[in-house]
Amino acid sequence: MTAAAIIVAAGSGQRFGNAGKSFSPVAGAPMAWWSIQAANAATSVDEIVLVCGSHSHDAGIALAAELRTAKLVRVVLGGERRQDSALAGIGATTEAATIVAIHDAARPLVTPDLFDATIATARSFGAAIAAIPVSDTIKRVAASQVVQTVPRDDLVRVQTPQAFQKELLIAAFAAAEEHGRSVTDEASLIESLGHPVHIVPGSSDNLKVTYPADLAMVNALLRARIR
């Protein structure tokens, strides 16, 4: 079964303060470059699609030209919502791709092994997501007061990549559209169909850049990795 990695770099970057967040320089390269390189090095990935916003499409085209990897088959425009961008990426994969792994370009520390692990699990079970256990104490609050301490034994923090059998994910998108649901997590769509989603151990290093201050940590970790 052929697998495609879809790198989503179409976000508005509102909390980051820069719509071009996914192409901000980090450790000497545009942020999206690192995720593409990891997908390119993953033995399970046969093709890569880069999804950009209208604000970042030119940067994506330029990056694709610089990379010159046969695996990067298309750079496409995303949509207003996360699920619109993911669906645009799926539509740009070839017919041969039966597995899709969707990854946030804002997680530049992803490894080839994590792509391989999520794709392998999706091949076996239909849906797989990278996640790590919650280590902090979690409390539910109301009106600035604690109302409950939430047991964390069965809680995880979800990351990307998230990998799925392509036809299953397309069906989940169709169902969400029919019922007017908007989500920021592809696995939620699969869960709504009643299909199990399997967990693959992620990494505490697989950080998401959300705020400008996050760049310093990610930059340090990437530079330590490439020494």
> What is the tens place of the pLDDT at every residue in 96-140?
999 999 999 999 999 999 999 999 999 999 999 999 999 999 999
Q: Given a cut of 70, is residue 18 above it in pLDDT?
A: no
For residue 128, the model assigns a pLDDT of 98
pLDDT confidence tier of residue 12, bands split at 50, 70 and 90: low
pLDDT confidence tier of residue 166, bands split at 50, 70 and 90: very high
Q: Pick the more confident residue, 183 or 105.
A: 105
pLDDT confidence tier of residue 54, bands split at 50, 70 and 90: confident
Q: Which of 1-5, 29-33, 53-57 has the lowest mean pLDDT?
A: 53-57
Q: Which of 24-38, 61-75, 150-164, 197-211 has the lowest mean pLDDT?
A: 61-75
Percent of the chain at pLDDT exceeding 70: 96
DSSP 151: P
List the domain boundaries for the chain.
2-225
**Fold category of 2-225 in CATH:** Spore Coat Polysaccharide Biosynthesis Protein SpsA; Chain A (3.90.550)
25 burial level (CB within 10 Å; 0-12, 13-18, 19+): exposed
Q: Pick the more confident residue, 212 or 31.
A: 31
What is the rounded CA–CA span in Å between residue 29 and residue 108?
Answer: 10
What is the rounded CA–CA span in Å between residue 145 and residue 142?
Answer: 5
Other CB atoms within 10 A of residue 112 CB: 16
Q: Given a cut of 50, is residue 17 above it in pLDDT?
A: no
